[in-house]
Amino acid sequence: MDPMPKIVGAVKTRTFKKGVHPTDYKAFTNAEKIEYPPLPDNVFIPLQQHIGEPGRPLVSPGDEVKTGQCVGRSDKYVSSPVHASVTGKVKAITTLPHPVGARAQMVHIQRTGEDEWDLLPVPEDWRTEPLENLRELVQEAGIVGLGGAAFPTHVKLSPPADKAIDAFILNGCECEPYLTADHRAMVELAEKILTGMGILMRVLGVEKGYIGIETNKPDAIEAMRACCTRIGLDVPVIPLQTKYPQGAEKMLIQAVLDRKVPAGGLPMDVGVIVNNVGTALAVTEAVTEGKSLVQRIVTVTGNGINTPKNVMARIGSPFSHLVDCCDGLKEETSQVFMGGPMMGIAQFDLAVPVIKATSGIICTTDSISEKGKTLPCIRCGSCISACSMNLLPTRLARLTEMKQLEAAGELGIDHCIECGSCAFVCPSQIPLVQWIRVGKYRLSQLN
Ligand code: SF4
Ligand code: SF4
């Protein structure tokens, strides 16, 4: 295994094989500074905002809570506590629509004033603090992967003893169209992000770090390089070709280190841990300021919102609060998504709350979002050419439709990362990812 990345020519930027080139629509917000909107009057904190076990409520109606106070947790290791994002009174523990679908238990808090913080105890110097304390702090702060996966970070920071980790990659790709939250964070908050990267690398005992950023963010590449020089951090900032899904972990590792994660494997199988820039920012705020994860940067954008912005949103804010902060929806708006258009989830109710995985709220009119009618497959093979996981999307969708799930399993349906590239290129508008998601779910029920 070669720890140093291969140089792929002086002009060509690095990338992975296959993938697609959707219009990026980032110009709506890529020059918009992060704004701090007024605090919401009410927040709704879902007890499940992460991969793993949902929390159980630790508070009851009538309890007074401070910003940062833990209001829900599970005893299971693969889980993450959730915290009050405003100072106020618990109104109810209730079941409401969740932005990833269905309804879920949430803690409703009515704000009573400005922030009074319930801070975590922080070390005097993270550079000398025992590693276990830092891991525990990351866990207590409720930090999960903010790139969209929402996998608990403390679990990622504890790889099994037989996995030798020798490289850390900071993921600054943000390859989904429209989203610019990570981009703005790198331009405006580079030092905090790099501090978080230093903390994560120390906890993992890794000396080699890399920062991967797509070439459509030249100011972010410049800002991160300048900050590395200023603070004396010897980490290469690697420009990556702007191509979707460049920010998916497996593609990022291939592009940066020329290592291939085996089918069904994890980055740690090739000695790598990847974290998103937003996660690194949250780690700094927890370890140096004692702040649990109660806010994140959200891009509110699209041709369906009056004033597109990047906002620092409190977790639990209703989407409608952020939409109002952006001067509301246009009359002709027909779709709202959480996340980008490739992997995002359509929303039908603006009362749903911002969760830790809410990277963006995309509001579009038909002029951008309308897709044509679904037509029969013309066997053009475009979906196969686009799939960076080397799957046969058309076959997997068809096998799911015919309920031949074991055959779909043999063809690797579980290796699909649900990036949406196949559906994006399909001239027949076949909802390939939806079929594959259904197939994965049904197969998991069989096993
Ligand atoms: S089959 Fe899965 S991994 Fe391949 S392009 Fe489609 S969604 Fe992406
Ligand atoms: S891209 Fe669409 S039409 Fe072409 S082979 Fe795949 S499923 Fe069929």
Atom in ligand 2 nearest the alpha carbon of residue 381: 5
Q: Does 391 contact ligand 1 (Cβ within 6 A)?
A: yes
Q: What is residue 298's predicted lDDT score, i.e. its pLDDT?
A: 98
Q: Whose CA is nearest to atom 2 of ligand 2?
A: 426
Atom in ligand 2 nearest the alpha carbon of residue 422: 1
Q: Whose CA is nearest to atom 4 of ligand 1?
A: 387
What would the pLDDT profile of 404-447 be if each residue is shown by its tens digit?
999 999 999 999 999 999 999 999 999 999 999 999 999 988 86
Distance of alpha carbon 102 from the chain centroid: 20
Asked if the model's pLDDT at residue 7 lies above 60, the reply is no
Which residues, at least 6 apart from 82, have a Cβ–Cβ distance to it below 8 Å?
45, 46, 47, 49, 55, 70, 71, 72, 73, 107, 142, 315
What CATH code would you report for 1-35+121-370?
A: 3.40.50.11540
As given in the structure block, the two tokens for residue 115 are 């922030």
Helix (H) or strand (E) segment spanning residue 182: helix 181-188
Q: Whose CA is nearest to atom 3 of ligand 1?
A: 416
322 to 39, 276, 329: CA distances (angstroms): 10, 23, 11
Mean pLDDT over each residue of the chain, to the nearest integer: 94
Asked if the model's pLDDT at residue 321 lies above 80, the reply is yes
Ligand index nearest the alpha carbon of residue 383:
2
Atom in ligand 1 nearest the alpha carbon of residue 245: 8
- Reported as half-sphere exposure (CB side, CA atoms, 13 A), residue 269 has a value of 9
235 to 73, 185, 191, 199, 241: CA distances (angstroms): 36, 18, 13, 14, 19
Atom in ligand 1 nearest the alpha carbon of residue 418: 7
Asked if the model's pLDDT at residue 359 lies above 90, the reply is yes
| Ligand 2 centre distance from Cα of residue 245 (Å) | 19
Q: What is residue 435's predicted lDDT score, i.e. its pLDDT?
A: 95
Ligand index nearest the alpha carbon of residue 342:
1
Ligand index nearest the alpha carbon of residue 436:
1
| Ligand 1 centre distance from Cα of residue 390 (Å) | 8
- Three-state secondary structure of 326-349: CCCECCCEEEEEECCCCCCEEECC
At 264, the pLDDT band (50, 70, 90 cuts) reads confident
Q: Does 379 contact ligand 2 (Cβ within 6 A)?
A: yes
Q: Are strands 70-73 and 64-65 parallel, antiparallel or unpaired?
A: unpaired
Beta strands in 30-166 (DSSP E): 34-35, 42-46, 56-57, 64-65, 70-73, 82-83, 88-97, 103-111
What would the pLDDT profile of 64-121 be if each residue is shown by its tens digit?
999 999 999 999 999 999 999 999 999 999 999 999 988 999 999 999 999 999 999 9
Ligand index nearest the alpha carbon of residue 422:
1
Distance of alpha carbon 23 from the chain centroid: 20
Q: Whose CA is nearest to atom 1 of ligand 2?
A: 426
Asked if the model's pLDDT at residue 202 lies above 50, the reply is yes
| Ligand 1 centre distance from Cα of residue 334 (Å) | 26
* Torsion-angle region of 264 (φ positive above 0: left; ψ -120 to 50: alpha; else: beta): left
| Ligand 2 centre distance from Cα of residue 386 (Å) | 11
Q: What is residue 369's predicted lDDT score, i.e. its pLDDT?
A: 59
Q: Are 428 and 382 within 8 A, CB to CB? A: no
Q: What is the DSSP string of 8-68?
A: --SSSPB--SS-B-----GGGTTTPPEE-PPPPSEEEEES--SSSBPPEE---TT-EE-BT
For residue 269, count other CB atoms closer than 10 A to its CB. 14
What would the pLDDT profile of 116-168 be if each residue is shown by its tens digit?
999 999 999 999 999 999 999 999 999 999 987 899 999 999 999 999 999 99
> Cis ω on the peptide bond leading into residue 427 (within 30° of 0)?
no
Q: Whose CA is nearest to atom 6 of ligand 2?
A: 383
Atom in ligand 1 nearest the alpha carbon of residue 415: 3
Asked if the model's pLDDT at residue 3 lies above 80, the reply is no
Residues of the chain with CATH 3.40.50.11540: 1-35+121-370
Q: Does 392 contact ligand 1 (Cβ within 6 A)?
A: no
Q: Whose CA is nearest to atom 4 of ligand 2?
A: 380
| Ligand 2 centre distance from Cα of residue 351 (Å) | 37
Q: What is residue 447's predicted lDDT score, i.e. its pLDDT?
A: 67
| Ligand 1 centre distance from Cα of residue 393 (Å) | 6
Atom in ligand 1 nearest the alpha carbon of residue 432: 6
Ligand index nearest the alpha carbon of residue 19:
1
| Ligand 2 centre distance from Cα of residue 391 (Å) | 13
Q: What is the DSSP string of 348-363?
A: S-TTSBP-TT--EEEE
| Ligand 1 centre distance from Cα of residue 314 (Å) | 32
Asked if the model's pLDDT at residue 2 lies above 60, the reply is no
What would the pLDDT profile of 297-314 be if each residue is shown by its tens digit?
999 999 999 999 999 999
